[in-house]
């Protein structure tokens, strides 16, 4: 057997370069790049290997390991899981910085390869710089922190282990059901150790994503249930996008005359004016979608993990006879909440279900009702954004930009008030044109996520929606977008703190405390000058007042040659209404009457939860 002498670090890099995939019939690298900050643990061996392959596997440097890994997550989402970015870090805090990003990828079922430095396996020099020692478990390192937030975890303790480990890690990342982040811990001494690797291990390999078909019996059961429905409802989840099943999903809805509602991850499955579109469902949803969900007798959930924001903590489905059909490539998700499970790829499953349904169509009046409710919802939005608010509301800012974006502009948002407002108020002009990170609801995703999305979509404008709170958490990759020539338009909505959590605090009977800056312990009542800060990182920036100035600034940003930051103050107390109830823990005992009232409302709403039997002992 022919072998080649390489260090473990060199062998990993050579193997990564050899992995290929095809997108729209064109062969491309499966791993198109690496995000990395180097330190002891990855600079001597892994960086040495990466430096030799910059034409095949370019390395990009950001300013924080968490943000770079988040950029990699957003890249994978924009690429619909068809290419995978790598993030690498050094031994200690650089490694643990990536834990949050791993959790984002895990919750959102997105591929991400993390390669972190680790402490010496020989232990002769313990404790090394940045090593966390466990007195009764000397083999435990910070690498173990990733076990809870990755789909695949391994620590390489011998060079030859990568021959087995790397293909298994890739298998998880490419599996449509098991997809998620993979972690490789690479101890310093092992990364530098040489081994005679088989040459065949580095042969170019072309990969594709499997499309598993559904079981015929499960399809027959689902078809029987759906075929008897008088008020069916389709839920489009993120899996519709990842399966590349939008066309089949849309055709199914039209042919069967079924209204469509969307989860946050499924947003932009249908364009906003499609006749079957009934709006976003759930806590950050529309009255139209939630009213339909309340009456539906059969709900077909396609490619969604049915998070509590989608289901209103399982209170949105009020029909006691409602049957839930869950189509999902993952058995775990398909089997949730006593659903009629169809385990299979979304496209293949919809095609099979369509054949099994015969000539079934839902009653015309059901889709007519959907159209009426959706029209009423749009009328409400038009009336609300037309209101006189100073400063403007999130909804007004969103509509102002929505009105003038190009159809294929790509929106990025994450935790805070903006995702809910965008989910409710943004009218998608093209399919797959939005990334709202709400699977893990990670503040700080917006800026690095936009950087990663722009790398994935170089020919489209990427617009990042950022609250002042998220901006202050993680902003350094504004500089990265400028330095790497990846132009992003950032819209910074400054409402003086964590306003949406302040809203939750008030809505559950609490007093305003420690969320808006004005309610925090502080000596000086200062506000950040986001324009100057953005300009210091090389971006163009301006602050605007009012909608007309905002739209004019956005047009200037479109024409600019680099990243552009637009700052606008927004109202911290005005919110779009229309979502459904969400369960949070409200104290049973309090000296505030408002809290006790909110607790009583919680107990009342729990009675609507599907399969819940709440009662006092």
In this prediction, residue 486 has a pLDDT band, given cuts at 50, 70 and 90, of: very high
Query: What are the extents of the domains in the chain?
Result: 3-207, 216-376, 388-569
- Fold of the 388-569 domain: Rossmann fold (3.40.50)
Say whether pLDDT at 616 is over 60: no
388-431 pLDDT, tens digit per residue, is 999 999 999 999 999 999 999 999 999 899 999 999 999 999 99
Residue 157 DSSP SS3 = coil
Residue 54: CB atoms within 10 Å: 11
Is the distance from CB of 417 to CB of 496 less than 8 angstroms? no
- What is the C-alpha separation between 61 and 39, in angstroms, rounded? 12
Respond yes or no on whether the N-terminal peptide bond of residue 456 is cis (omega within 30° of 0).
no
Residue 278: which of 398, 422, 377 has the closest Cα?
A: 377
pTM: 0.97
pLDDT score of 614: 58
CATH of 3-207, one of 3.40.50.970, 3.40.50.150, 1.10.357.10, 3.30.230.10: 3.40.50.970
| Cα-to-chain-centroid distance, residue 7 | 36
| Beta bridge pairs of residue 415 | none
pLDDT score of 525: 83
In this prediction, residue 267 has a pLDDT band, given cuts at 50, 70 and 90, of: very high
In this prediction, residue 527 has a pLDDT band, given cuts at 50, 70 and 90, of: confident
CATH of 216-376, one of 3.40.50.970, 3.40.50.1220, 2.160.10.10, 3.40.50.1100: 3.40.50.1220
What share of the chain in percent tops pLDDT 90?
Answer: 97
Respond yes or no on whether the N-terminal peptide bond of residue 391 is cis (omega within 30° of 0).
yes
pLDDT score of 611: 79
Mean pLDDT of 242-249: 98
In this prediction, residue 291 has a pLDDT band, given cuts at 50, 70 and 90, of: very high
pLDDT score of 612: 74
Say whether pLDDT at 347 is over 70: yes
- Residues 6 or more apart whose CB falls under 8 angstroms from that of 480 comprise 60, 61, 62, 63, 71, 448, 451, 486
The pLDDT mean for the chain works out to 96
- What is the C-alpha separation between 284 and 133, in angstroms, rounded? 44
The answer to whether the 3-207 and 216-376 domains have the same CATH topology is: yes
Question: Buried b / exposed e across 353-389, counting CB within 10 Å, b at 16+?
Answer: bbebbeebebeeebbebbeebbeebbebbeebbeeee
Residue 443: which of 477, 411, 419, 410 has the closest Cα?
A: 419
């Amino acid at each position: 057997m022919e072998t080649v002498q390489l260090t473990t670090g060199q062998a990993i890099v050579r193997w990564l370069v050899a992995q290929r995939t095809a997108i729209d019939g064109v062969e491309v690298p499966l791993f198109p790049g690496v995000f990395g900050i180097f330190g002891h643990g990855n600079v001597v061996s892994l960086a040495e290997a990466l430096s030799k392959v910059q034409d095949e596997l370019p390395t990009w440097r950001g300013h924080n390991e968490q943000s770079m890994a988040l950029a990699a997550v957003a890249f994978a989402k924009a690429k619909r899981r068809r290419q995978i970015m790598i993030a690498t870090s050094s031994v200690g805090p650089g490694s643990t910085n990536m834990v949050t990003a791993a959790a984002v990828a895990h919750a959102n079922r997105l591929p991400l390869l993390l390669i972190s430095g680790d402490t010496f396996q020989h232990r002769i020099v313990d404790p090394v710089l940045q090593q966390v020692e466990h007195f009764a478990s000397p083999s435990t390192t910070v690498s173990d922190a990733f076990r809870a937030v990755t789909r695949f975890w391994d620590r390489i303790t011998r060079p030859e282990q990568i021959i087995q480990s790397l293909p298994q890690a890739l298998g998880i990342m490419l599996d449509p059901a098991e997809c998620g982040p993979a972690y490789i811990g690479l101890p310093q001494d092992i990364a530098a150790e040489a081994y005679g690797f088989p040459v065949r291990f580095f042969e170019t390999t072309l990969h594709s994503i499997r499309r598993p078909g559904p079981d015929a019996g499960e399809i027959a059961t689902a078809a029987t249930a759906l075929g008897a429905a008088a008020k069916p409802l389709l839920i489009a989840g993120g899996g519709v996008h990842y399966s590349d099943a939008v066309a089949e999903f849309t055709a199914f809805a039209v042919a069967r005359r079924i209204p469509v509602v969307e989860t946050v991850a499924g947003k932009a499955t249908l364009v906003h004016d499609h006749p079957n579109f009934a709006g976003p469902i759930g806590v950050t949803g529309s009255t139209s979608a939630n009213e339909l969900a309340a009456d539906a007798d059969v709900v077909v959930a396609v490619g969604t993990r049915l998070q509590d924001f989608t289901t209103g903590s399982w209170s949105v489905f009020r029909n006691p006879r409602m049957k839930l059909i869950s189509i999902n490539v993952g058995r775990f998700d398909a089997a949730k909440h006593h659903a009629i499970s169809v385990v299979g790829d979304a496209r293949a499953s919809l095609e099979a279900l369509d054949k099994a349904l015969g000539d079934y169509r839902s009653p015309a009046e059901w889709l007519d009702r959907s159209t009426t409710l959706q029209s009423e919802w749009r009328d409400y939005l038009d009336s609300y954004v037309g209101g006189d608010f100073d400063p403007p509301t999130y909804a007004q800012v969103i509509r102002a930009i929505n009105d003038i974006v190009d159809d294929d502009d790509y929106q990025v948002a994450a935790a805070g008030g903006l995702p809910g407002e965008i989910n409710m108020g943004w009218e998608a002009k093209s399919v797959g044109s939005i990334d709202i990170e709400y699977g893990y609801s990670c503040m700080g995703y917006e800026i690095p996520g936009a950087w990663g999305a722009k790398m994935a979509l170089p020919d489209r404008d990427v617009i990042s929606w950022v609250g002042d709170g998220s901006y202050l958490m993680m902003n350094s990759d504004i500089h990265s977008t400028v330095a790497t020539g990846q132009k992003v338009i950032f819209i910074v909505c400054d409402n003086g703190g964590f306003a949406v959590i302040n809203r939750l605090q008030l809505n559950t009977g609490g007093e305003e405390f420690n969320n808006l800056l004005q309610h925090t312990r502080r000596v000086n009542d200062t506000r950040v000058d986001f324009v100057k800060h953005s300009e210091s990182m090389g971006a163009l920036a301006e602050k605007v007042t009012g909608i007309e100035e905002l739209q004019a600034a956005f047009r200037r940003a479109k024409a600019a040659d680099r990243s552009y930051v637009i700052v606008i103050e927004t109202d911290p107390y005005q919110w779009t209404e229309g979502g459904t109830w969400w369960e949070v823990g409200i104290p049973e005992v309090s000296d505030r009457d408002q809290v006790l009232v909110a607790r009583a409302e919680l107990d009342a709403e729990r009675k609507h939860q599907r399969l819940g039997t709440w009662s006092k002992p």
